[in-house]
Chains A and B, each alone.
Chain A
Amino acid sequence: MKVSCLQENLNKGLGIIGRAVASRTTLPITQNVLITTDQSQLKLAATNLEIAISCWIGAKIENEGSITIPARVLTEFVGSLPSDIISLNLKHHTLELKCGRYEARINGLDAADFPPIPQVGDDFSTKVKAEDLKLAISQVAFAAATEESRPVLTGVQTEFEGSKLTMAAADGFRLAVHRANLIEPVKEKVAMIIPAKAYHELNRLMGNEDQEIEITLNSQKSQVLFKLKGIEMVSQLIQGNFPNYSQLIPQTYGTKARIDVAEFLRAIKMAAIFARDGSGIARVIVTPGATVEAGKITISARADEIGDNIGEIDALVDGEAAKIAFNARYLADVLSVVKQAQVSLEVSTPSNPGVIRPVGTDNYDHVVMPMFVQW
């Protein structure tokens, strides 16, 4: 292999695939990156066997070839080179790099031993706007479980039907459901569980660029491929059945309050200061307005040794007075990802789940189970 490319491009490419390099592993070659010529481009790839990321950079190819090189050494060396043309020259299993007056030789391992980057067929394929996918991921993936005793809950249920994409995640205490539009409708209904971790990675890869993301599934329905501009990410799917979540979304409420998101979040964060040492309990009391007064919500917290706080915000209240306690972190998590200025909070009894929805759109439901406290 003999190729040359710009230091900036190689550096950027290594940064993109870097997150898929295995950190602790029993298969040492997964700590390497695969470098291979692909038509007129240089393809870089890494995999930790859960996800694989490939990216393509412009290069001048003199001789084709491929090799795997330890990711850390290569990334650090390339990162400290000046911005200039780098030439890469493979001699047996040693990659020789030259850039201006700097050069290095790094020992690699045969590319044939690199775990094959899964090839995903086109049994199922659709497209979605990056912007829509990003919003869906940011509103759903955080609600997945981090604890691994129920593997399906560490993933995001992702359903394609007609021209709708629905994502749902739950960790036993809360549930987030987001609906988005597809650019191309799918022929048949398909559902898969994608690891929340893979989605977080995908969100990072999409950046802020305006682009279309192509999603395809392999025929065994075990892997999913996301095609971005110049980048591909393949993720293993989680096998199993995701719980039937739609029945967990309450259909009725006794009290519904419309609240300003920024103020609600501020009050929750203040409560969290006092709730931190305990189990994070924020007590929420909803009071409907009288003829002259506006309705309000008070949010309070207390810790035996520290003290207590209380915050009051205006709200448009429909229904009865209500009180309910939540884990402050759960409320802060959802309020931080809502884009609209207002949310509605629907509750029925202190022991039934509360629902938070952005006002002005019907694409997001967030259900939170309360904490049971003595008032």
Chain B
Amino acid sequence: MPIKILPPEVTSKIAAGEVIERPSSVVKELIENSLDAGANEISVEAHNGGISYLRVTDNGCGLSAAEVEIAIRRHATSKITGLEDLEHIRTLGFRGEALPSIASVSEVEILSRDSGSSAASYLHLEGGKVSAREKKSRPQGTTITVRRLFQNFPARLKFLKSASTESGHIATLVGQFALAFPEVKFELVIDGKNSLRTTGDAELRSSVAVVYGLETAKKMLEVEGTDGMLYIQGLASPPSVERSTRSYMSFFVNRRYVRNALLARAVETAYEGLLMTGRHPVAVINIAIPPEETDVNVHPTKLEVKFRNNNTVFTALVRTLRDTLAKSPLPAIRSGVEDASAQTLWGQFPHNAVLPPLRAVGQLSSSYILAEGEDGLYLVDQHAAHERVLFDKILLQRAQKKPEVQGMLEPLAIELSTQQEQAITACGGLLSELGFTLEPFGERTCLVRAVPALLNGNNLNEAIRELLDEIGGEQDTQKRDIKAAQSLACHGAIRAGQTLDSGEMASLVKQLERTSQPRTCPHGRPTMIHLSPQQLKKEFGRTG
């Protein structure tokens, strides 16, 4: 096959594909530009997941008529001049790629006015080419509107998820910017509905209140520490506030949102022993570090960062967080350590094996049921066992479309994060099939009118928010349904530490016998361990 040089329309699209993956990538680039332009008010508007319409408006320095023309050219940037500048980037943008990349995969309008011009310049671009030029009026600042994203790029378009999922990505992203820039007033409107609005009062706690809710914000602990070279500042949750996903940890390096496994690991290390396994803190961590100590030019999306000295950063973050947590009022140690020796003593069995009839004989540590079967002793983990019972019941009720629902006498108002709010929209069908009646109620609040009966008497607030966290991030509907059932089962199940009477124990064991997989909980952990008469004999030295 002959080798050909690709025409520029093709190469520009390939390059664009690296920078612009989805609507939220456009939003990210545009907000970064606004921030680099010194804006302190930025509003974002999206329709149909940002696929048909996106607009970012700022009150930054703006561009002159001549600058607008240059800005849309590839590798045009006002932010660096040469290679040596890459060593100490202080702006969010530096490649001069964002605007041309966006323009090559959508229809773009730019309206901008700088302080020296008497009118604003307006450009309309189609397929990266200018199709209209005008003078319009607007105050200083820039508005960029992006329409029909990827319309000329079917490969990308196919890869996009539903509009509500894409809106969810945008909401998450704007939330992260709000956390990183508490001094900037952010506003996000999705499909005409206000989804986020920060005050811009420069208080990180206010931003946390908007993004994660007031209750969480109030409890967050101040984080501050330095290590000569780097300065760490932010907010971190006390051990009493915990989440079931890692997505409530945000890291900003020199105010740039980054994903970095090292930083996440440092946070988890600092909370070790304070949170149960599988639980994660809420944290907003800002790290200021000389730019030459980092490299952000790692990935086209600028989302990754490398540190010259990983160890220093890791140690400093762990130590700062430990200091913060040591001052927290409730340093209750909870550990999920398992006794490895139990493995050798206790028998194991195939997951799906049926249970022999069991007779509950007593409770141990208010957490385990001792039960006798024809083939020896069983120790049943009451929480795990009940989780299995409820999990099966939830799946069955859903399949039969017969959820058992308890109405609320008075609707309960629950504060939600933007992601959780999006999850309600995206998973409305699933939630009502499970037995929830949730109604939107103002910004980031919903009213709970009915709940699955099995949640009755539990902390509904926590159960609902965690359920939304679990299902919000899951695209695969089958996996999402399983996750929902797991989360509900976990919240509805009796806890370890709860004393049961003999009737309750007997009933639980009976119900467990009838489940599909009595020996494992929905997460795959064992619900019980077994000690056979042979093992007992051996342990007491009666064989041989």
Query: Which residues in A have some Cβ–Cβ distance to B below 8 Å?
Result: 146-150, 170-175, 243, 248, 276-281, 305, 327, 351, 353, 367-374
B409's partner among A276, A353, A371, A374 (CB-CB below 8 A) is A353
Sample (28) of A-B pairs whose CB atoms are under 8 Å apart: A148-B459, A149-B459, A149-B460, A150-B461, A171-B457, A172-B412, A172-B460, A173-B408, A173-B409, A175-B409, A243-B410, A248-B409, A278-B393, A278-B404, A279-B453, A279-B454, A280-B453, A281-B404, A305-B514, A327-B406, A327-B456, A351-B407, A367-B409, A369-B408, A369-B409, A371-B407, A372-B406, A372-B450
CB-nearest residue of chain A relative to B409? A369
Q: List, in ascending order, chain A residues with CB within 8 A of B393's CB.
A: 278
B507's partner among A170, A171, A277, A279 (CB-CB below 8 A) is A277
CB-nearest residue of chain B relative to A148? B459
Q: Do B457 and A371 touch (CB < 8 A)?
A: no
A372's partner among B407, B458, B459 (CB-CB below 8 A) is B407
Q: Do B456 and A173 touch (CB < 8 A)?
A: yes
| Shortest distance between the CB of A276 and any CB in chain B (Å) | 6
Q: Do A374 and B457 touch (CB < 8 A)?
A: no
CB-nearest residue of chain A relative to B412? A172
B407's partner among A146, A149, A369 (CB-CB below 8 A) is A369
Q: List, in ascending order, chain B residues with CB within 8 A of A175's CB.
A: 409
| Shortest distance between the CB of B123 and any CB in chain A (Å) | 54
Q: Do A281 and B407 touch (CB < 8 A)?
A: no
Q: List, in ascending order, chain B residues with CB within 8 A of A147's CB.
A: 457-459
Interface residues of B in 395-438 (CB under 8 A from A): 402, 404-410, 412, 435
Query: Which residues in B have some Cβ–Cβ distance to A below 8 Å?
Result: 393, 402, 404-410, 412, 435, 450, 453-454, 456-462, 507, 510-511, 514
A174's partner among B409, B453, B511 (CB-CB below 8 A) is B409
CB-nearest residue of chain B relative to A304? B396
Q: List, in ascending order, chain B residues with CB within 8 A of A146's CB.
A: 457
Q: List, in ascending order, chain B residues with CB within 8 A of A243's CB.
A: 410
Q: List, in ascending order, chain B residues with CB within 8 A of A148's CB.
A: 459
Ranked 4 nearest A-B pairs via Cβ: A279-B453, A372-B405, A369-B409, A149-B459
A248, A281, A367, A371: residue with the most chain B Cβ atoms closer than 10 Å: A371
Q: List, in ascending order, chain A residues with CB within 8 A of B407's CB.
A: 173, 351, 353, 369-372
Q: List, in ascending order, chain A residues with CB within 8 A of B462's CB.
A: 149
Q: Do B511 and A277 touch (CB < 8 A)?
A: yes
Q: Do A371 and B408 touch (CB < 8 A)?
A: no
Q: List, in ascending order, chain B residues with CB within 8 A of A150's CB.
A: 461
Give me 14 other A-B pairs in contact (C-beta within 8 A), A171-B457, A173-B408, A373-B402 excluded: A170-B410, A172-B410, A172-B460, A173-B409, A277-B510, A278-B393, A279-B453, A279-B454, A353-B409, A369-B406, A369-B408, A369-B409, A372-B405, A372-B406
| Shortest distance between the CB of A274 and any CB in chain B (Å) | 12
CB-nearest residue of chain B relative to A171? B457
CB-nearest residue of chain A relative to B461? A149
Q: Do B404 and A173 touch (CB < 8 A)?
A: no
Q: List, in ascending order, chain A residues with CB within 8 A of B453's CB.
A: 279-281, 327, 371
| Shortest distance between the CB of A302 and any CB in chain B (Å) | 12
CB-nearest residue of chain A relative to B401? A374
CB-nearest residue of chain A relative to B402? A374
B405, B409, B454, B458: residue with the most chain A Cβ atoms closer than 10 Å: B409
| Shortest distance between the CB of A62 and any CB in chain B (Å) | 45
| Shortest distance between the CB of A253 and any CB in chain B (Å) | 16
Q: Please, how many angstroms separate the alpha-carbon atoms of A353 and B412 in the complex?
A: 16
Q: List, in ascending order, chain A residues with CB within 8 A of B405's CB.
A: 371-373
Q: Do A248 and B404 touch (CB < 8 A)?
A: no
Q: Please, how many angstroms separate the alpha-carbon atoms of A351 and B402 in the complex?
A: 16
Q: List, in ascending order, chain A residues with CB within 8 A of B457's CB.
A: 146-147, 171
Q: List, in ascending order, chain B residues with CB within 8 A of A278's CB.
A: 393, 404
Q: Please, how many angstroms separate the alpha-carbon atoms of A279 and B457 in the complex?
A: 12
Q: Do A279 and B409 touch (CB < 8 A)?
A: no
Q: List, in ascending order, chain B residues with CB within 8 A of A305's CB.
A: 514
Q: List, in ascending order, chain B residues with CB within 8 A of A351's CB.
A: 407
A279-B453, A279-B454, A327-B456 known; A371-B410 Cβ under 8 A: no
Q: Please, how many angstroms separate the alpha-carbon atoms of A32 and B106 in the complex?
A: 75
Q: Please, how many angstroms separate the alpha-carbon atoms of A346 and B405 in the complex?
A: 21
Q: Please, how many angstroms separate the alpha-carbon atoms of A40 and B404 in the complex?
A: 62
CB-nearest residue of chain A relative to B396? A304
CB-nearest residue of chain B relative to A170? B409
CB-nearest residue of chain A relative to B504? A276
Q: Do A279 and B406 touch (CB < 8 A)?
A: yes
Q: Do A371 and B404 touch (CB < 8 A)?
A: yes
Q: Do B456 and A279 touch (CB < 8 A)?
A: yes
A148, A149, A279, A370: residue with the most chain B Cβ atoms closer than 10 Å: A279
Q: Please, how many angstroms separate the alpha-carbon atoms of A248 and B408 in the complex?
A: 11
| Shortest distance between the CB of B219 and any CB in chain A (Å) | 13
B402, B454, B457: residue with the most chain A Cβ atoms closer than 10 Å: B457
A172-B412, A243-B410 known; A373-B404 Cβ under 8 A: yes
CB-nearest residue of chain B relative to A370? B407
A147, A150, A368: residue with the most chain B Cβ atoms closer than 10 Å: A147
Q: List, in ascending order, chain A residues with CB within 8 A of B404's CB.
A: 278-279, 281, 371, 373
Q: List, in ascending order, chain A residues with CB within 8 A of B410's CB.
A: 170, 172, 243, 248
Q: List, in ascending order, chain A residues with CB within 8 A of B459's CB.
A: 147-149
Q: List, in ascending order, chain B residues with CB within 8 A of A371's CB.
A: 404-407, 453
Q: Please, how many angstroms separate the alpha-carbon atoms of A344 and B459 in the complex?
A: 32
Q: Please, how many angstroms separate the alpha-carbon atoms of A172 and B464 in the complex?
A: 15
Q: Please, how many angstroms separate the alpha-carbon atoms of A243 and B411 in the complex?
A: 11
Q: Please, how many angstroms separate the alpha-carbon atoms of A175 and B454 in the complex?
A: 20
CB-nearest residue of chain B relative to A173? B409
| Shortest distance between the CB of B462 and any CB in chain A (Å) | 7
CB-nearest residue of chain B relative to A174? B409
Q: Please, how many angstroms separate the alpha-carbon atoms of A248 and B454 in the complex?
A: 23
Q: List, in ascending order, chain A residues with CB within 8 A of B511's CB.
A: 277
Q: List, in ascending order, chain A residues with CB within 8 A of B409's CB.
A: 170, 172-175, 248, 353, 367-369
Q: Please, how many angstroms separate the alpha-carbon atoms of A280 and B393 in the complex?
A: 14
| Shortest distance between the CB of B441 and any CB in chain A (Å) | 16
Q: Please, how many angstroms separate the alpha-carbon atoms of A373 and B461 in the complex?
A: 23
Q: List, in ascending order, chain B residues with CB within 8 A of A279's CB.
A: 404, 406, 453-454, 456
Q: Do A276 and B456 touch (CB < 8 A)?
A: no
| Shortest distance between the CB of A146 and any CB in chain B (Å) | 7
Q: List, in ascending order, chain A residues with CB within 8 A of B507's CB.
A: 276-277
| Shortest distance between the CB of A270 and any CB in chain B (Å) | 15
Q: Please, how many angstroms separate the alpha-carbon atoms of A353 and B450 in the complex?
A: 12
Q: List, in ascending order, chain A residues with CB within 8 A of B460's CB.
A: 149, 172
Q: List, in ascending order, chain A residues with CB within 8 A of B435's CB.
A: 372
Q: Please, how many angstroms separate the alpha-carbon atoms of A175 and B408 in the complex?
A: 11
| Shortest distance between the CB of B402 and any CB in chain A (Å) | 5
CB-nearest residue of chain A relative to B448? A172
Q: Please, how many angstroms separate the alpha-carbon atoms of A146 and B498 in the complex?
A: 13
Q: Please, how many angstroms separate the alpha-carbon atoms of A368 and B454 in the complex?
A: 17
B402, B456, B460, B510: residue with the most chain A Cβ atoms closer than 10 Å: B456
Q: List, in ascending order, chain B residues with CB within 8 A of A277's CB.
A: 507, 510-511
Q: Please, how many angstroms separate the alpha-carbon atoms of A370 and B454 in the complex?
A: 14
Q: List, in ascending order, chain A residues with CB within 8 A of B412's CB.
A: 172
Q: Please, how many angstroms separate the alpha-carbon atoms of A174 and B408 in the complex?
A: 8
| Shortest distance between the CB of B509 and any CB in chain A (Å) | 11
Q: Please, how many angstroms separate the alpha-carbon atoms of A122 and B458 in the complex?
A: 39
